[in-house]
């Protein structure tokens, strides 16, 4: 495939009082064409869906207090609030079950079992994980990402849309995509993190002329 052009779109800080589809249409505007793919950062999608909470609003269970002690100190699940947020989203006993299974699997050198089955544990951003004013919040992963992408396509007339989780450590995943879009291919295109860091406030990236380049 020929080299694709990636165009970051600057926005103001979007909050739970914004509608992400309208925001994409507003800020993307005429830059979004019928051959383009609209990519939107998963954290911003989650925030606009109101999928945020604060430690002050959570009541850590004994399961969260127990499990967080066995997570390396750098991770979001190392805090009782991050762990409790994952448990609230996925269920306390389910989280505990997969945590134990994951620990056993690690003994057999199989990593990532816990995060594979308790998806929110890998998607949650703990306090400090997001830019102000959400640096004091815990941000969950987005909900109904595929449906949202279909809505974005309908509203903007783009060729496709994806919700992506990308960082500077060359980790790229597509959490939701509109019909007909190959998530793995888009994840590879986004691997260099065209969203930049939070302070650049470019949560939308347009893959220009994708359909033409792909078919041409």
Partner 1 sequence: MIILTIVDICMTIIGVIAIGYLAFRIFAKMQGDERIVFQTKKHTNFRLEDISFDKVHLVAEVPYKNLGKQNGTIMDCFARAYLPREQFDTVSVETWVCDVKRKRSDNYWESVIIEANKGGLVEVHLILKGLNGNIRDDAQYFPHMSVDIIAQIVGRSDWHMTKSRIVLHPDDVSRALAI
Q: How far is the CB of 65 from partner 1 (least distance, A)?
A: 8
Q: For residue 30, state whether it binds partner 1 (rule: CB under 8 A).
A: no
Q: How far is the CB of 125 from partner 1 (least distance, A)?
A: 11
Beta bridge partners of 173: 165
Q: Residue 75 or 196: which CB sits closer to partner 1?
A: 75
Q: Residue 77 or 175: which CB sits closer to partner 1?
A: 77
Q: How far is the CB of 64 from partner 1 (least distance, A)?
A: 11
Q: For residue 183, state whether it binds partner 1 (rule: CB under 8 A).
A: no
Q: Residue 135 or 168: which CB sits closer to partner 1?
A: 135
Residue 142 contacts residue 46 (beta carbons within 8 Å): yes
Q: Residue 33 or 55: which CB sits closer to partner 1?
A: 55
91-130 residues near partner 1, rule: CB under 8 A: 127-128
Q: Where are the beta strands (DSSP E) in the chain?
A: 5-9, 37-41, 52-53, 138-139, 160-166, 172-177, 204-208
216: exposed, middle or buried (C-beta count within 10 Å: 0-12, 13-18, 19+)? exposed
One symbol per residue from 54 to 93: x for binding partner 1 (CB under 8 A), - otherwise; what is it? Answer: -xx---x----xx-xx---xx---xxxx------------
Q: Residue 60 or 183: which CB sits closer to partner 1?
A: 60
Residue-by-residue DSSP string for 15-35 = -TTS-HHHHHHHHHGGG--TT
Residue 120: count other Cβ atoms within 10 Å of its Cβ. Answer: 18
| Letter string b/e over residues 185-214, b meaning 16 or more CB atoms within 10 A of that residue's CB | bbbebbeebbbbebeebbbbbbbbbbbeeb
Token pair, residue 110, equals: 């199989």
Q: Residue 78 or 211: which CB sits closer to partner 1?
A: 78
Closest CA to 114 of 71, 156, 157, 154: 71
Q: For residue 133, state whether it binds partner 1 (rule: CB under 8 A).
A: yes
Positions touching partner 1 (CB under 8 A) are 55-56, 60, 65-66, 68-69, 73-74, 78-81, 127-128, 132-133, 135-136
């Amino acid at each position: 495939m020929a080299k694709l052009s990636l165009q970051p779109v600057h926005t103001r800080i979007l909050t739970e009082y914004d509608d992400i589809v309208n925001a994409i249409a507003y800020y993307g505007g005429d830059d979004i064409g019928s051959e383009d793919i609209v990519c939107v950062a998963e954290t911003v999608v989650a925030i606009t869906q109101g999928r945020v909470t604060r430690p002050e609003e959570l009541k850590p269970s004994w399961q969260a207090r127990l499990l967080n002690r066995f997570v390396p100190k750098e991770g979001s699940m190392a805090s009782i609030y991050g762990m409790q947020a994952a448990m609230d989203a996925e269920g306390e006993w389910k989280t505990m079950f997969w945590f134990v299974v994951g620990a056993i699997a690690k003994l057999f050198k199989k990593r990532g079992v816990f995060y594979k089955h308790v998806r929110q544990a890998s998607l949650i951003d703990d306090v400090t994980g997001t830019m102000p004013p959400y640096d004091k919040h815990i941000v969950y992963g987005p909900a109904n990402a595929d449906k949202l992408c279909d809505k974005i396509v309908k509203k903007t007339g783009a060729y496709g849309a994806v919700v992506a989780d990308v960082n500077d450590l060359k980790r790229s995943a597509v959490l939701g995509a509109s019909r007909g879009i190959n998530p793995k291919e888009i994840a590879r295109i986004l691997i260099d993190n065209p969203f930049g860091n939070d302070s650049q406030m470019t949560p939308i990236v347009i893959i220009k002329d994708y359909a033409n380049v792909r078919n041409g």
